[in-house]
Amino acid sequence: MRRIYESDALDRDDEDPFRPGASDREEPRAARTLPVGTLSETLFPRRLRHRSISVDVSTPRDVYEAGETVPFVVRMKNAMPFPVSVPTVSPVLWTWAVDGHREASHVPEIPTQEPSALEFDRGEWKEFRRNWNGMFQVSESEWTRAGPGEYTIHAGVNVESASAKGVRDETTIEIR
Amino acid sequence: MAIYEVEAGERFGVVGESGAGKSVTSLAVMRLIDEPGVIESGEIRFKGRNLLELDDEEMRELRGNEIAMIFQDAETALNPAYTVGEQISEAVRHHLDMDETAAKERAIEMLESVGIPDPGQRYSNYPHEFSGGMQQRAVIAMALSCDPDLIIADEPTTALDVTIEAQILGLLKEIGDEYDTAIQLITHDLGVVAEFCDRVMVMYAGHPVEMAPVEDVYYDPQHPYTVGLMGSVPRIGDDRDRLETIPGRMPDLIEMPPGCNFHPRCPYAEENCTKREPAFVDVATGTPADVSDHDTQMAACLAHTGELSEQPGYEVRVRDGSRTEPVESTDGGTVDE
């Protein structure tokens, strides 16, 4: 069966602005498809890209009762007036942790080899809201409640050594 | 994660609320999970072969041929640029190696079998010339056209009126019996499951919470979520003012509750439910479930492993005409059958 894109039903001409271009045949493109990843990769050094992204983590309060859920907000901003793409180590683009335990879990995650990228438009803000339920996962099927004390919530872009690259932030809360 | 087995000729129902993971589980069988979703681990075995080890070409040969899917949304499943008949006969030509005339005949035959009037004429119609119900039937015809060994039907009759629904279910049943075709039916309609399926799996937040022969699930549900689902079914002659609902909603799968995923909505939840994820066990023995045993009832609730201080109490009443007979009587919720 002949597909529509294999047919000559469309009159193509690169010169005529009112006809579809011959070079558009392979990939139909949307109106706004700037290849942010490629441009960012070729024109903007990775180190500067990390520097242009700021990350902030905040909680509404500093002190929570035991058993209470701790909501937190992660804000990321691209300070540059052009789009920026930050390569990440996995399709999980950003992560959060409590006292160094990813998503408050002691269970090692299944490693993925597939890298991806977190893309920001020019001057873009991103905001993510999550909740820590005040528990730590200690095994595949078991959780324990965090005792009274101070806990640090970290969040950042999923890159190697995120703290050193400045794409990670933390905040400390107290559980009574 | 879901572990289940469907035997040749078996009709297996998958039920649960929207967002429970029913469609994703089925799309995973076809390896049709959309980016950025991936199958992280596990096995999908079909006739002794692990589908995760097949290359794309082998998988394409399998899809539509040995495993067929009836998609939920017929309007988007059909290509608007091709005639309905052409779309059915394309699959037949590709998989059954028939020539154009034979494939066309087969496609017309399939359209007739799903109740499309004047199929010879309708063969050359485009999808927009079909009503919603007819489009759904065309998608069903496409799935049945290559005599698959497994049909995954994702809410195949949701868009159809009840008479056509009965016809389609009858047709699926007939095909299942005649060709020993296994059917995995995903649906919200518990009445359809009761009528059509041999076994049923109840899913919640991406996990199976109960799996058993259909009678067991309906007459003796063993998971509070199943009890809630059964209680929320409207019934003719019911004198309730309002339907029973399960309070709350399905958790965000990015932020799953710790322990049993159902505990925030469960009327019987205890402190232990927030700390331990229940294993999927044989409800009679409390030992890990053996999914190859199709006669046992399995559920994932701490009540079955003796880790709750009180057993969940609910009542199941079986109504036979005017007679109301309590099957099991404790306290708490009720389920009418």
Has residue A25 been placed in a domain? no
Has residue A10 been placed in a domain? no
Predicted confidence (pLDDT) at residue B270 exceeds the cutoff of 60? yes
Q: Supply the pTM of this predicted model.
A: 0.82
Give residue A115's domain range. 34-175
Give ipTM to 2 decimals. 0.76
Predicted confidence (pLDDT) at residue B331 exceeds the cutoff of 60? no
Has residue A90 been placed in a domain? yes
Has residue A12 been placed in a domain? no
Q: Of A112, A116, A144, which is closest to B275 when you measure between CB atoms?
A: A144
| Number of domains forming the structure of chain A | 1
- Determine the pLDDT at residue A4: 54
The tens digit of pLDDT for each residue in B287-313 reads 998 888 889 999 999 999 888 877 777
Q: Do B276 and A137 touch (CB under 8 A)?
A: no
Q: Do B276 and A142 touch (CB under 8 A)?
A: yes
Query: Is-contact B202 B226, C-beta < 8 A?
Result: yes
The tens digit of pLDDT for each residue in B151-175 reads 999 988 887 788 888 888 888 898 8
The tens digit of pLDDT for each residue in A78-94 reads 999 888 999 999 888 99
Has residue A84 been placed in a domain? yes
A135 touches chain B (CB under 8 A): yes
Q: Of B40, B90, B255, which is closest to A110 when you measure between CB atoms?
A: B40
Q: What is the DSSP letter of B288?
A: B
For B94, which residue in chain A has the nearest alpha carbon? A1
Q: Do B275 and A143 touch (CB under 8 A)?
A: yes
Has residue A103 been placed in a domain? yes
Neighbour tally for A165: CB within 10 Å? 18
What's the gap between Cα A165 and its chain centre? 15
Q: Do A142 and B255 touch (CB under 8 A)?
A: no
User: Nearest 5 degrees, angle CA A78-CA A83-CA A86?
Assistant: 70
Task: Enumerate residues 6+ apart whose C-beta is below 8 A from B138.
Answer: B74, B78, B84, B87, B88, B111, B114, B116, B127, B130
User: Nearest 5 degrees, angle CA B250-CA B255-CA B256?
Assistant: 60
| Residue whose structure tokens are 């009540």 | B303
A30 touches chain B (CB under 8 A): no
Has residue A85 been placed in a domain? yes
Q: Do B277 and A140 touch (CB under 8 A)?
A: yes
Residues A127/B252/A105/A115 CA torsion (nearest 10 deg): -60
- Determine the pLDDT at residue B293: 87
Has residue A29 been placed in a domain? no
Query: Is-contact B11 B193, C-beta < 8 A?
Result: no
Mean pLDDT of B136-144: 90
CATH of the domain at A98: 2.60.40.10
